[in-house]
Structure 1
Amino acid sequence: MIVWGTKGFSEDLGPTSIHAECENCHNVVTYQGKKVGKKFSLFFLPLFNI
């Protein structure tokens, strides 16, 4: 039998911040750094002994 699955994750990168200015309205905003991704797991479970 084969079992698989996925799980999303989001990790805060700590005190990282980026200051940027909008080209249209010239507002200054601060972005926080985050690591976002997806993990995939695959398992094989043997059902018969030989």
Structure 2
Amino acid sequence: MSINLKAEMVKVVPYDPKWKVEFNRIRVQLLSYVGDLIVTIEHVGSTSIEG
């Protein structure tokens, strides 16, 4: 079996307040699919934290 992984460039950028809004939109959508099957959904990443 072979896995074909495409290399992508990673770009680190300053925090953007729009990310919090977008994450919350996606979180609500995911929770509507999985209901109480999970405890929480969190956004993790060095640039996902304000300040």
Q: The TM-score by the shorter chain falls in which range?
A: under 0.3
Structure label with greater radius of gyration: 1
TM-score by length of 2: 0.24
Pick 1 or 2: higher relative contact order, CA cutoff 8 A, min separation 6. 2
Considering fraction of residues, name the structure with more helix.
2
TM-score by length of 1: 0.24
